[in-house]
Amino acid sequence: MNSRAISLALMSLVAILTGCSSAERETAEQAATRFYGAVHDRQGEQACSLLAPSAAEGLSTGGQRCANAILDLELPGGQPVDTAVWGDEAQVRLSRDTVFLHRFPQGWLVRGAGCTARGELPYRCEVTT
């Protein structure tokens, strides 16, 4: 196999892999957008259904239901700026927030929202697992 054929094969492989990761990034971004759409529209039940189970349980404390607690947080949201996917984990950076997601059998669910970077320290999130 000559070097031109090898280069073409490698370029094809990169194109295929990039296409897959692009689709995954888009799907994760859509999940974050749906979550914030529900929060913005004050649909607490819908927003909680888009959370990872442990994140929803974490909001259901002190006798308050997840659907009420999620709306009390005043999550900032914003427009998608950048999305990264690593296997079953994703990070969607919004203009005023960062969202972390995990891929479950039913699709991407939010593990962390209302997250703020803190330099070298881990993100601080209002919603977390």
What confidence tens digit (pLDDT) does each residue in 83-108 have?
999 999 999 999 999 999 999 999 99
Residue 10, C-beta contacts closer than 8 angstroms, at least 6 positions apart: none
pLDDT for the residue 4: 40
CA angle (34, 25, 115) in 5-degree steps: 60
3-state helix, strand, coil in the chain (%, to 5): 45, 30, 25
pLDDT digits (tens, 9 = 90+) for 37-83: 999 999 999 999 999 999 999 998 777 899 999 999 989 889 999 99
Whole-number Å distance between alpha carbons of 103 and 111:
10
Q: Topology of 3-124 in CATH?
A: Nuclear Transport Factor 2; Chain: A, (3.10.450)
Instruction: List CB contacts of 4: < 8 A, sequence separation 6 or more.
Output: none
Domain ranges, ordered by start, for the chain: 3-124
